[in-house]
């Protein structure tokens, strides 16, 4: 599923990423990435340290 793929890309990056950057790195559609990020936000697995950019919660 795309949720795991998005999380893996974010972990590998080691820095906050925007949805478009994640989509490009994961080879997914930006809309798919945004849906996956919404799931991750609800689960509390990702945080936004800066506006419009997200990273894995430590």
- DSSP sequence for 1-58: -HHHHHHHHHHHH-S-B-HHHHHHHHT--HHHHHHHHHHHHHHT-EEEEETTEEEE--
More confident of the two residues 56 and 58: 56
pLDDT for res 54: 95
Contact call for residues 19 and 35 (beta carbons, < 8 A): no
CATH topology of domain 2-56: Arc Repressor Mutant, subunit A (1.10.10)
Q: Is a pLDDT exceeding 80 seen at residue 1?
A: no
Q: pLDDT band at residue 58, thresholds of 50, 70 and 90?
A: confident
Retrieve residue 36's tokens: 């996956």
pLDDT for res 19: 96
Digit-coded pLDDT (tens) for 11-52: 999 999 999 999 999 999 999 999 999 999 999 999 999 999
């Amino acid at each position: 599923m795309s949720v795991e793929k998005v999380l893996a890309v974010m972990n590998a990056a080691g820095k906050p990423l925007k949805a478009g950057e994640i989509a490009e790195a994961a080879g997914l559609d930006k809309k798919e990435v945004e849906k996956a990020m919404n799931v991750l936000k609800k689960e509390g697995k990702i945080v936004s340290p800066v506006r419009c950019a997200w990273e894995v919660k430590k």
